[in-house]
Structure 1
């Protein structure tokens, strides 16, 4: 990659509330570093600050799939070439210690040295909507499975009169039966089990 003499490269170490930025020149010399709010007005300040050091060739961004996602979209919309940089140089971190300034500088150097060249995913449009729906559904399925496994474990250890009646049932029938259980006996053990086996978390959704 041939970088014009007047161009600069930025690096951004992203966090939840703030982003730390650094700028280097074509020779790898650090020109400046500064912290900005992780919000729209902060992104504008960051870009203006980098432009103040010269025309921007590219900006490396850490965590483009999480804390850096919004900044990446902002930069792309502004016509800036954003580069995904996942891990700052570990050797430099061991030598100089952890610091946001160092991480931002190493992100910029990763772009300058072409050790990071990936274009971040857009994280927008119909593809992102589908991905979000898939992640949400997977989480719901996992929670339902965990809830049923808990119910099954409770049922296996239930008093024999109840366990023998439930153990051979299918999953849906077992859930429906447990939802109808009421503490109608004076046996404290059976009463306690009936309370625990009401299965409200799994059984609320009757579509499965």
Structure 2
């Protein structure tokens, strides 16, 4: 029985090319759409094995599309198919339930492999994306070594950007004294005496 696939891609030419390519290689493309507002209903009606989901589309983005599909039909595997390489979108997609993350520059042969891989329980990712995920686990391990809390890590990230306590407080919507208290704890945990030393240590040891 052919593998059923649904495409969500707002670039009409790319979507049509993908649909044609997949059909020519034995896949059953049961639907292709230029937006994902009705993704939940589409997943329920067509019961796709795999969804290829773009991120940047008109109306609701593909990150919400993943959430809706996973809520309506958890067994459907969703592979993000996008140009975005930034950490924020990557981890939003993974947290939303995406099973894989491929960049649009991925060769067609790798796309077919990824579809098979995700059906076998794998998590296909483009090499640069897999490296980002690995780096994040390494950073988390280092952060845990110093027992930094998630809020302290966030404060440290703002500090590395060169922000003052006042600006950090405004960005995080915290009281000035609260941020100052977090910084004091950060300095103690990192065994440093000031912000410059904290920044140097954080960067050299890839704490954030």
**TM-score normalised by structure 2 residue count:** 0.36
Higher helix share: 2
Higher RCO (CA < 8 A, seq sep 6+): 1
Please report the TM-score for the alignment, with normalisation by the length of structure 1.
0.36
